[in-house]
Chain A
Amino acid sequence: MNILYLLIPIGIIFLGVAIGLFVWAIRSGQYDDMEGPAHRILMDDDDPKIPGNENKPEVEGNQGDER
């Protein structure tokens, strides 16, 4: 059980790091917009890079695709 005397202090150091990271994230504005990024990730800018789409011009990509 003596290992706990080492592991718990290490746990506390990690706690400090976690809080530090969190505060950094807050300061750099990552929590300012909680809705946008969830949508942003779905909007691909990389259609031409998807295999099979390389040669298709962007505009005629999805004919009749209505949602």
Chain B
Amino acid sequence: MHNNCYHCDLPVPPGASYQVTIDGRSREMCCPGCQAVAQAIVDNGLTDFYRYRTEKSRNPQQAFDEAKKTLSLYDRPELQKSFVTQDNENTRHASLILEGIVCAACVWLNERHVMALAGVSEFRINYSTRRATVKWDDSLVKLSDILNAITSIGYIAHPFDPGRQEQLQKKERSLAMRRLAVAGLGAMQVMMLAVAMYAGENQGMEESLKNFMRWVSLLITVPVVFYSSSIFFKSAWRDLKHKQLGMDVPVSLAIGSAFLASIQATVIAHGEIYYDSVTMFTFFLLAGRYLEMMTRHRAGQAAEELIRLLPMAATLVVDGQEEVVSAGDLRCGDCVRVRPGETIPADGIIIDGNSSVDESLMTGESVPVGRTVKSHVIGGSINIDSPLLVRVEKTGEDTVLSSIVRLLDRAQTEKPKLSRLADRVAGWFVGIILLLAGLVGWYWWQHDPTNAFRITLSVLVVTCPCALSLATPAALVAATGQLTRTGLLITRGHALETLSQADHIIFDKTGTLTYGRLQLQEVINLHCDSAQQALAIAAAVETGSEHPVARVIVESADQIPDAQQHLTTTGQGVQAVVNGKLYRVGKPDYVRELNNDPFTHTVLENDRTVIALGDGKNTLALFVMDDLVQKNAADAIKDLRGLGLSVSLLSGDRKPVVDYIAKQLGISDAHAEMLPGQKLSFIQSLQHSGQTVAMVGDGVNDAPVLAGAQVSIAMGGGTQIAHASADMVLLSGNLSHISEGVVMSRRTLSVIRQNIIWALVYNAVAMPMAAAGWVAPWMAAIGMSASSLIVVLNALRLTR
């Protein structure tokens, strides 16, 4: 077992030596990326980051790839138009999405680092949404400098257009909060007066003072009813117009009639007033709605971040002249140049050049695939080796990426809507309440008209489905909060409920069960002096190559001699002259072409990724690469089995690789070489046989499958599109948190059941008492609140 990287916690590859002195102690890093980031943090006097942080940082590899893309493009006015607001001549501000924020210390680090730049006047990160706003003086600092500064400490910032939807959400949130504030403060004041009047009832209070208090209560209640409760009236009216019975109908009826009766009592200075009941009732209901809205918004935000997979700028070639344009302006038939490391801006056909392309985002395949003239390339994949000239075939709506997004939309809408069922049940419940209240009112009208209204109102308030409607959300909110703290973020309301019922859990391979990153496992020395020497020569040959395999070799070497005359054969390997001798590094067959050495080795039969090094005479050494299995994967799978779930592995990768991983983890049901569509139908066939399926995945290719499963979990390090389609996001990346989540979800469900039973028992007891006229409306309101309070306290047990 090797050490793990101090920065990102990935295993340090054998033979690697990257060290940074932090707090006076030398720390080991896994790659030059982590080393550079840690060094930048130390050099800027931000060492405290390592003390504050509660999670290990993300590996910055991706950030560095991103940095190679020309960030300076973001300085161009025609690109800035879409996401930058100009305040006056030089001050501008923009919104950024930050990737890699895992704990509060990341926020601190970014803010400190960026604010240190001259010309940045404001930089604030919202920890809940992982978004930032930046305000800068364009004459002193450029946007690209700011983005670069963020990249240098290992995070990725994307400018984005906050868009209309987000502004609407913000408005909705602020309105809901204002309603809540008015209702809450109003309820407190009215309660205070109400208590005084109840006390005055016993001890004798002057009639004029009593009257004064009635009018004051009315004055405070007016804004609560007309401002805060207006949403209940509106939605009740909407329900009635559509001939439905929603929760809001009896709510409006209770609030409206109690308010009107109280006004009458106030004006004639005689009779009961119910202002306390009205305001308290409004406040409790609004609080419940607010919590519900917050969960909904969080889910919505993730979905908006999809679009940013495509690059914003593209290099258009017209008559041999290159011109940078916004990717959104590309038309079919345009020719674009894509340099190594750049993202391909749209679907198209290669008309010049050959290279390997990383399509892992789309297909989940971990190794880049060779592409040459006349092959199709997919927008959103990354060009690795050499420049390509691509003719755009499809743009916008027609691209593969868009079609995945559409597939995702469909899968999401086809999802069983539990809420629809809840609404129907609520309709019945409400109907029964109204009917009962009507019967009670009619009965008392016949026998005791003076008390009929008071008793009917008590029935309406006491049977308010408050505890019942809080029973589920209170438990869900408590459990959600607790799970978020451990690193499992829940983005959809039904997720916990469904997870507790799941009986089959399916894992994707790359990036989920494995780290999604090749590591050098073994150097087999055949004809070299030492493994170190073999590595050094191979690294010299591979220097400058963008291929992930090459990068692993270069990173693993201690020292790298000079090499000349590099020649890359796409999809095969590289040759170069080192110390006057010609070497080849690449696939064993490619190396064999050079020396005709008919060697064999057992490692070649396992179909693991093997890279050979050879000269004109012999094959000198073999390098065995593997995608490492996540630390906790085996334990997590054992735990899940212990909880009674069956475990399957679905992967788009080759069969031997999948079998190898499955054997390591003890998964007997492994399926290889599956396309997204096949994965989806696999899940659907399980669902038809009556199973509740949970899916864990990370890539774009998994998105439709994630959406198709009843409950889905995306890896925190995965793509945004996977996050958006999943019901939960595993921010910690620790697979054993999934089994904890299952345990938690089952506990949550049992708490919900207890709560519902309690609420029903309460209603069954309180309802006849109210109907018999033993309960005053204020007692009904207190009883209703107490029953809600018990429900909430019971739910809070989940946070321990």
Residue in A closest to B49 when the chains form the complex, CB atoms = A43
Please choose the segment from B125-133, B462-470, B711-719 that sits at the chain A interface, where 4 or more of its residues have CB less than 8 A away. B125-133
When the two chains form their complex, are residues A34 and B177 in contact, meaning their CB atoms are under 8 A apart?
A: no
Cα separation A40 to B615 with both chains bound (whole Å): 58
| Given known contacts A36-B127, A65-B51, A11 and B23 CB-to-CB distance under 8 angstroms | no
Distance in Å: Cβ of A6 to nearest Cβ of chain B: 11
Residue in B closest to A23 when the chains form the complex, CB atoms = B178
Q: Which of B128, B170, B186 contacts A15 (CB 8 A)?
A: B186
Q: At the interface, yes or no: A50 with Cβ under 8 Å from chain B?
A: no
Q: Which of B108, B189, B206 contacts A1 (CB 8 A)?
A: B206
Cα separation A36 to B177 with both chains bound (whole Å): 19
Q: Inside 8 A of B42's CB, which chain A residues have their CB?
A: 59
Q: At the interface, yes or no: B577 with Cβ under 8 Å from chain A?
A: no
Distance in Å: Cβ of B341 to nearest Cβ of chain A: 34
Cα separation A39 to B112 with both chains bound (whole Å): 14
When the two chains form their complex, are residues A40 and B182 in contact, meaning their CB atoms are under 8 A apart?
A: no
When the two chains form their complex, are residues B51 and A36 in contact, meaning their CB atoms are under 8 A apart?
A: no
Q: At the interface, yes or no: B601 with Cβ under 8 Å from chain A?
A: no
Cα separation A33 to B213 with both chains bound (whole Å): 39
When the two chains form their complex, are residues B51 and A62 in contact, meaning their CB atoms are under 8 A apart?
A: yes
Number of B residues near A (Cβ < 8 Å) is: 37
Distance in Å: Cβ of A7 to nearest Cβ of chain B: 11
When the two chains form their complex, are residues B104 and A22 in contact, meaning their CB atoms are under 8 A apart?
A: no
Q: Inside 8 A of B45's CB, which chain A residues have their CB?
A: 58-59
When the two chains form their complex, are residues A35 and B213 in contact, meaning their CB atoms are under 8 A apart?
A: no
When the two chains form their complex, are residues B209 and A4 in contact, meaning their CB atoms are under 8 A apart?
A: yes
Q: At the interface, yes or no: A64 with Cβ under 8 Å from chain B?
A: yes
Q: Inside 8 A of B216's CB, which chain A residues have their CB?
A: 8-9, 12
Chain A 22-67 residues near chain B, CB threshold 8 A: 22-23, 26-27, 31-36, 39-40, 42-45, 47, 58-65, 67
When the two chains form their complex, are residues A8 and B51 in contact, meaning their CB atoms are under 8 A apart?
A: no
When the two chains form their complex, are residues A43 and B126 in contact, meaning their CB atoms are under 8 A apart?
A: no
Residue in A closest to B484 when the chains form the complex, CB atoms = A35
Q: Inside 8 A of A42's CB, which chain B residues have their CB?
A: 52
Number of A residues near B (Cβ < 8 Å) is: 36
Q: At the interface, yes or no: B212 with Cβ under 8 Å from chain A?
A: yes
When the two chains form their complex, are residues B23 and A33 in contact, meaning their CB atoms are under 8 A apart?
A: no
Residue in B closest to A39 when the chains form the complex, CB atoms = B104
Q: Inside 8 A of B209's CB, which chain A residues have their CB?
A: 1, 4-5
Q: At the interface, yes or no: B640 with Cβ under 8 Å from chain A?
A: no
Cα separation A9 to B45 with both chains bound (whole Å): 56
When the two chains form their complex, are residues A58 and B47 in contact, meaning their CB atoms are under 8 A apart?
A: yes
| Given known contacts A5-B212, A58-B45, A15 and B185 CB-to-CB distance under 8 angstroms | yes
| Given known contacts A36-B125, A59-B42, A15 and B189 CB-to-CB distance under 8 angstroms | yes
Cα separation A65 to B50 with both chains bound (whole Å): 10
When the two chains form their complex, are residues A40 and B181 in contact, meaning their CB atoms are under 8 A apart?
A: no
Q: At the interface, yes or no: B174 with Cβ under 8 Å from chain A?
A: yes
Cα separation A18 to B25 with both chains bound (whole Å): 52
| Given known contacts A26-B174, A33-B127, A39-B104, A19 and B181 CB-to-CB distance under 8 angstroms | yes
12 A-B pairs whose Cβ atoms sit less than 8 Å apart in the complex: A1-B209, A4-B212, A11-B189, A12-B189, A23-B181, A33-B129, A35-B128, A39-B104, A39-B107, A45-B112, A59-B45, A63-B24
Which B residues are closer than 8 A to A by beta carbons? 23-25, 42, 45, 47-48, 51-52, 104-105, 107-108, 112, 125-129, 170, 174, 177-178, 181-182, 185-186, 189, 192-193, 206, 209, 212-213, 216, 219-220
For the A-B complex with A35-B128, A39-B108, A39-B127 known, give 16 more contacts whose Cβ atoms are closer than 8 Å. Answer: A5-B212, A8-B193, A11-B192, A12-B220, A15-B189, A23-B178, A35-B104, A36-B107, A36-B128, A39-B104, A39-B105, A40-B104, A59-B23, A64-B23, A64-B24, A65-B51
Which A residues are closer than 8 A to B by beta carbons? 1, 4-5, 8-9, 11-12, 15, 18-19, 22-23, 26-27, 31-36, 39-40, 42-45, 47, 58-65, 67
Per CB-CB distance, the 6 closest pairs between chain A and chain B, nearest first, are A39-B104, A36-B127, A22-B181, A33-B126, A43-B108, A63-B24
